[in-house]
Amino acid sequence: MNDAVHLRSDGVSLVLDTTGPRLPRIAYWGADLGELDPSDVRAVVEAGRPPTVLNLMDEEVPVGVLPEAAVGWVGTPGLSGHRGGRGFSPLFDLVAVDVPDGDDATAGALRILGRDSALEVDLELRIALLPGSGLVRLSATLTNTGTSEYVLERLQLSLPIPAEAAELLDLTGRWTRERAPQRHAFTLGTHLREGRRGRTGTDATLLLVAGESGFGFRSGEAWAVHTAWSGNHVHAAERLPTGVSLLSGGELLLPGEGVLAPGESYTTPDVYGSHGHGLDAISARFHRHLRARPGHPRTRRPVVVNTWEAVYFQHDVDKLTRLADAAARVGAERFVLDDGWFRGRRHDAVGLGDWDVDPDVWPDGLHPLVDHVRGLGLEFGLWVEPEMISPGSALALAHPDWVMSTGDRLPPLSRGQQVLDLANPAAFEHIAGRLDALVTEYRVDYLKWDHNRDLVDGGHPTTGRAGVHDQTLAVYRLLDGLRRRHPGLEIESCSSGGGRVDLGVLERTDRVWASDCLDPLERQQIQRWTGLLVPPELVGAHVGGARAHTTGRVQDLPFRAITALFGHLGIEWDLDAALDADPAAVEELTRWVALHKRHRDLLHSGVVVRSDHPDPATWVHGVVSPDGAEALYAVVAMATSIVSPPGRLRLPGLRPDRRYRVEAVWPDGVPEPRRILPSWWAAGIELTGAVLATAGVQVPQQKPEQACLLHVTEVTAGTARTTEITGVTDDPRRAREHP
């Protein structure tokens, strides 16, 4: 008989009941339980077995990673499907458990084989507690071992959470207002978030978090789930009166997408679980995980100038050359030519698919601009939208059967465009070839890879079958192939702004575009919540012109700059025109760019912290270096408040027992706004990390939409450290409990 398994990593324990005869059940997922001997592990499992319930089943109802209706579970089954109408209720036997050995016990994934002999399907489950991050990762492969078609409708995996998780938080949004949080009580029933846009979506859940009542960034035990998939997907939080609560995730299969021929398999996307005390701890695990990717960008994140809001579709070689000059002048290191460069692309309803340079606008190709950009010492980036096709493009006219549809009617247009059926090998090869040629010819360093519409009626035109699943895999193949052929190439995931942000696409891209909204007030919240999953160096954040194009608000440069400098900094502003109209502003921008570069290594490697100030007008967020020696915080006035100044503000995440110097930073030569300063401000102040986290410091009274920066550096080696603190908690007691 198999034994129970206890996996431990980074302050997390995962105890699995793998004793059979059914598929494994997670007996415990949460804070580290410490070293347990095998009998203790068995006892954890035993203590977690539910009693039978009066008027329900006469037997125990085990709820596994794949919940099964056959045992009496009356919630959502993990697997749904049938074989010609029969076999509607699967019940798997546990066939084999492959536990990674010895010291490696936490490194590899447990592989569990289940079999439903009557239904003739095999299920391989993979369950890992990832070293270095403490994230749980689940996935499964279902194989049809029978001789007829098996119709798979749903395969979702679940993680149990305790009754203490009484409140839910997830995200939603729309174009230019991505990642708006919503929270409510975790009531009985199912909170279901389905993504049916054929892409992750500007309204994507990102994380579905369940936590103790009132959980915030710094406090409250919480559990979160994320489905690493860029197509249709599901996140669910389900609570039953039997005392079972689950977080689940998986792909949302359209009708017919899961039909498995004999011998065929379906593999789920990875479903991640993160546990911690406070959202900062939850997100720190994702950040550590992403930073440990072999492909994580290791070079300094170059400051970008992007042409979109500067010129839109008005491409003119001289103008863009002057813009490149201005980019170099302010200290940018990468110049990205956005939409508008390819054949016929004078507005957004034309040209997609015809990926060659427009000879009317660029008689000598892009070479004069690219050579100029490189001559200035800048990298060159190019915008593409490879999955899309404009109806009037030469490509669409030549290959009408390459446009995704139900087979008998075309989907409604969106932004004037349709979707190219990349699961069609000829279409795939064509696009792969065009991308390859462009990257090669112009030695493109960076692609801004866009995807500007939902996949409505996203089917294969030739068969009339649903095609979102195949499309998602084809896009992944396209990205992987291009990166293999061009190892130095970086790719940004953009989709109507922040519509494709997930761990599936992040396995093969180097940054996400958070939003088309550059208004710093909106951006504060978009970046704050995007940061729940993605670390700052992977979040594109641009300084726009004074009047935000998408909201019409006018904000001063310090607020725009302080907001953007906490991400992968860029500029999206007609600097050429600004040099004429307001050269002082361009000079100021240069100084903000220099300030970002001074702190860039810290900003792009540190632990992200956010304080839970009760006044929604006052936001404090920062980045603390992994060794705890340095931090940079922003104090942001999001609105007016009755309470002003806000009082002492806590600076979370520092080592409690170390001594720090706190100083306001502002770029030299940039006029500071007139504000009344606290007494310590001019000279700085020294305090311990514990004092800064628990008592805090006074800050200036700020007007709405103003912000200031505090730089914190360690001044002594500090007292002997008895614990290794990960920087995700500033409660010294908790730090001691969880070394």
Residues that bind ligand GLA (CB under 6 A): 308, 338-339, 348, 383, 450, 452, 494, 496-497, 513, 516
Distance in Å, CB of 340 to ligand GLA, minimum: 8
What are the structure tokens assigned to 607, written together?
């632990």
Closest to ligand GLA by CB, 268 vs 563, is 563
* H or E, element range at 184: strand 180-185
Distance in Å, CB of 234 to ligand GLA, minimum: 25
Residue 325: CA atoms inside 13 Å, Cβ hemisphere, count? 10
Distance in Å, CB of 571 to ligand GLA, minimum: 13
| 285: helix, strand or coil | helix
Q: Before 645, cis peptide (omega within 30)?
A: yes
* Cα–Cα distance, 183 to 212 (Å, whole number): 12
Could you tell me which residues are beta bridge partners of residue 405?
none
Calculate the CA dihedral of residues 710, 716, 722, 727 and round it to 10 degrees. 20
Distance in Å, CB of 669 to ligand GLA, minimum: 31
Distance in Å, CB of 307 to ligand GLA, minimum: 9
Decide if 505 contacts 200 (C-beta within 8 A).
Answer: yes
* Cα–Cα distance, 65 to 248 (Å, whole number): 9
Closest to ligand GLA by CB, 202 vs 471, is 202
Closest to ligand GLA by CB, 385 vs 705, is 385
* Cα–Cα distance, 615 to 619 (Å, whole number): 8
Distance in Å, CB of 499 to ligand GLA, minimum: 8
Residue 197: CA atoms inside 13 Å, Cβ hemisphere, count? 21
Decide if 239 contacts 258 (C-beta within 8 A).
Answer: no
Closest to ligand GLA by CB, 378 vs 494, is 494
Q: What are phi and psi of 633, to 5 degrees?
A: -120, 150
Catalytic sites, residue numbers: 450, 516
Distance in Å, CB of 312 to ligand GLA, minimum: 8
Task: State which amino acid sits at residue 574.
Answer: D
Burial of 674 (0-12, 13-18, 19+ CB in 10 A): exposed
CB atoms inside a 10 Å sphere around CB 410: 15
Label the pairing between strands 270-277 and 136-144.
Answer: antiparallel
Residue nearest to ligand GLA (CB): 339
